[in-house]
Structure 1
């Protein structure tokens, strides 16, 4: 009975932690006027999740969320400028495809879809890399690209996991608002850490 109660308490504790971090992500994004708040809040969320996955589960969440938000405010927004350009290119690609699409897709659209896929895969790694490595922006962007290119299995696992979670949250939309952001962070950081450890063991990452 005690073991069952302990397990239930442990599960509820993690549910509360996930919900709290997701709430902080939304609050601090709004606090930065969304435009300036999104990237620092996202980095803070990913850093907290990374700490959890590395065994540091007892850190005061609000204190460390604010610390990472404040200390990475400028650097994360500089990265955000680059990511916004990439996302802008993806939007242009989608717009071009919609405007020029005829009865069916042709092979000429393959490079556009390939480009969008690469950007999506790149986004899987850029935030975990930011949280894991102490690098300048240029080195961070290069290493995230390098890790993405040599980690196809990890990318596949991230896609499968995120798609599975998407369908669950689509069936229960409330879960998206309560756990959406932090669940994405947990999946990408968890799988990315395995990629980082493999690279570190093989000593093939150039900082």
Structure 2
């Protein structure tokens, strides 16, 4: 029996909360299964890829889908993760070094480095979204992610505000983080970047149509 109207909407929201909680628990468990170091990025990619299926209005079995992506992307996602971690460590080392220095030059460089680090964190969001959205080389993922981030500030604002809301919620409501932290952050990333991807697709379709009619 199908429910419509208000009851159907409530049921749909409840289903989404159950899915988000289930995916988040899988994300935690599979990260631990890889001893965190080797499991975090495959679990994160699997989480995002599974969430993407639901955003596209598919209804796959959650565990089977998560496990499929985890296995398939285990080595490739760890290569991506190694690059992300190395760059992050370099930025962290620079910030720590500048904090320890007491000079005009260190003060001048400190805040630009902080801004660069924030841009880097935002770029990771676009990179992860691109990774689960398109089949491309890592170099192409990085290039396209940076270009999309620069030319689509509205999506970046959605990510920032979305992250702020999720962070406030999971730190304010006890126990919410265990069930929803990762999946909600992932949902913010995918829903924000999908707006940009759909806009790019429409532009490509319009250009193709104009070329055919020219």
Check whether TM > 0.5: yes
Q: Normalising by the residue count of structure 1, what TM-score does the alignment of the two structures yield?
A: 0.89
RMSD: 2.3
For residues 95 and 189 of structure 1, the distance between their equivalents in structure 2, rounded to whole angstroms, comes to 32
For residues 32 and 113 of structure 1, the distance between their equivalents in structure 2, rounded to whole angstroms, comes to 31
The worse-fitting range, judged by mean Cα deviation, of 112-121 and 3-12 is 3-12
- State the shift of 1:106 in Å: 4.2
For residues 170 and 159 of structure 2, the distance between their equivalents in structure 1, rounded to whole angstroms, comes to 16
Matched pairs, number: 202
Residue from 27, 30, 33 that aligns with 2:32: 30
- Contact kept, 8 Å, 2:31 with 2:43, in 1: the verdict is yes
- State the shift of 1:121 in Å: 1.3
For residues 9 and 198 of structure 2, the distance between their equivalents in structure 1, rounded to whole angstroms, comes to 30
Deviations along 1:58-95, one digit per CA (max 9) or x if unpaired, are: 21010010101111111111111110112112321331
For residues 102 and 176 of structure 2, the distance between their equivalents in structure 1, rounded to whole angstroms, comes to 35
- Pick 1 or 2: higher relative contact order, CA cutoff 8 A, min separation 6: 1
1:18 aligns to 2:43 (yes or no): no
Paired position in structure 2 for 1:108: 109
Paired position in structure 1 for 2:195: 194
For residues 90 and 2 of structure 1, the distance between their equivalents in structure 2, rounded to whole angstroms, comes to 52
Runs of 4+ with >4 A deviation: 1-5
1:54 aligns to 2:42 (yes or no): no
Q: Normalising by the residue count of structure 2, what TM-score does the alignment of the two structures yield?
A: 0.86
Matches within 5 A, 1:64-103: 64-100=65-101
- State the shift of 1:2 in Å: 7.6
Structure 2 unmatched runs, 5+:
206-214
- Contact kept, 8 Å, 1:75 with 1:137, in 2: the verdict is no
- Contact kept, 8 Å, 2:95 with 2:110, in 1: the verdict is no
The worse-fitting range, judged by mean Cα deviation, of 133-142 and 181-190 is 133-142
For residues 176 and 29 of structure 1, the distance between their equivalents in structure 2, rounded to whole angstroms, comes to 15
- Contact kept, 8 Å, 2:49 with 2:132, in 1: the verdict is yes
Paired position in structure 1 for 2:208: none
Paired position in structure 1 for 2:169: 168
Structure 1 unmatched runs, 5+:
none
Larger radius of gyration: 2
